[in-house]
């Protein structure tokens, strides 16, 4: 394969002498290169928004958002997927991260797995990927065999397919309905795509998952009203969010949370005086959108 043709594999003229620089100069060079990432992501906002709309439609209709990748790209996809259930209270089956080599590859490099196209197909089949799903391949090169095969299989069964890549005119871009191409240039260290390319992928994944969750009604104003209070910090966060929305004190918020079970139901009850059954019915009628439920209730 001709790696030299890939932008992410070319030498960066700004860092030819990085091995002769002081520590401060090294981190300054890295910081300057990192500053190129956000504008590169900005150039792809239209494509990111289109993929978000597809993901919202999929999840709203019983489908899934599935990330797939190898190495750093796969780890970032798994990370983003795994953080959504506690943050937004979404069913972990609705947003899934798949990495070549499975869970052991999250911690250790496994030789050859990124080149195994057959396994990419097998992993999609094992997940039961279907037309209701959105599958997003992630790879800096845009050519990883495992990921490309997974994308092509997903498309063959009717799934909507996106990608996040850091090179132009790649096979993954061609295989995607929703290609996201973020061109942030050569890396500080040649080929170390865990750096700028990885940062770009993380930024895009943050946008995809967060915007999708907002569109699904898991955010009120800019508050995470579907946070899962599964530990002390998240329980405290839930109480704080409820105080912020309703203006009650922490003790009242805690009591309402215990009585109604969720931040949304507790907030609705506190703001309207409705009982628990009314709160649940209103939220269900609004598709889980707290603001919409309040507006509908007040118009009655």
Task: Please report, to the nearest 10 degrees, the dihedral formed by the alpha carbons of residues 224, 65, 57, 215 taken in order.
Answer: 20
Pair 147, 97: CB distance under 8 Å: no
* Residue that has been written with the tokens 């590859």 in this structure: 105
**From residue 220, how far is each of 223, 230, 245, 272, 285 by CA, in Å?**
5, 20, 9, 16, 16
Alpha-carbon span 131 to 252, nearest angstrom? 46
- CB atoms near residue 119 (< 10 Å): 21
- CB atoms near residue 279 (< 10 Å): 25
CA neighbours within 13 Å on the CB side: how many for 298? 10
The residues near 60 (Cβ < 8 Å, ≥ 6 apart) are: 216, 287
Alpha-carbon span 258 to 238, nearest angstrom? 11
* Residue that has been written with the tokens 């190495």 in this structure: 71
3-state secondary structure 13-48: HHHCCHHHCCHHHHHHHHHHHHCCHHHHHHCCHHHH
Query: Could you tell me how many helices (H) and strands (E) the chain has, helices first?
Result: 13, 5
What residues are labeled active site? 83, 114
Measuring CA to CA, which residue among 205, 93, 101, 187 is closest to residue 144?
A: 101
SS3 for 275? coil
Alpha-carbon span 191 to 199, nearest angstrom? 14
């Amino acid at each position: 394969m001709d790696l030299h043709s890939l932008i992410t594999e070319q030498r960066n003229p700004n860092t030819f002498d990085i091995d002769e620089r002081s520590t401060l100069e090294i981190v300054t060079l890295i910081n300057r290169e990192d500053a190129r990432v956000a504008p590169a992501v900005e150039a792809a906002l239209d494509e990111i928004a289109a993929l978000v709309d597809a993901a919202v439609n999929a999840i709203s209709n019983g489908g899934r958002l599935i990330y797939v990748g190898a190495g750093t790209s796969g780890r970032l996809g798994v990370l983003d997927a795994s953080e959504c259930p506690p943050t937004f209270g979404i069913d972990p089956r609705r947003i899934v991260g798949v990495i070549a080599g499975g869970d052991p590859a999250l911690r250790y490099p496994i030789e050859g797995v990124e080149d195994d196209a057959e396994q990419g197909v097998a992993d999609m089949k094992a997940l039961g990927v279907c037309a209701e799903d959105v599958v997003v391949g992630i790879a800096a090169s845009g050519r990883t065999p495992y990921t490309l095969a997974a994308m092509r299989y997903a498309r063959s069964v009717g799934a909507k397919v996106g990608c996040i890549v850091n090179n132009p005119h790649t096979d993954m871009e061609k295989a995607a309905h929703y290609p996201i191409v973020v061109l942030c240039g050569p890396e500080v260290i040649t080929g170390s795509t865990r750096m700028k390319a990885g940062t770009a992928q993380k930024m895009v994944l943050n946008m995809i998952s967060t915007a999708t969750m907002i569109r699904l009604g898991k955010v009120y104003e800019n508050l995470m009203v579907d946070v899962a209070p599964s530990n002390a910090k998240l329980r405290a966060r839930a109480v704080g969010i409820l105080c912020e929305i309703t203006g009650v004190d922490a003790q009242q918020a805690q009591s309402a949370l215990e009585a109604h079970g969720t931040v949304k139901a507790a907030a609705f009850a506190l703001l309207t005086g409705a009982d628990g059954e009314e709160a649940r019915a209103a939220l269900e009628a609004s598709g889980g959108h707290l603001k919409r439920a309040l507006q509908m209730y007040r118009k009655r």
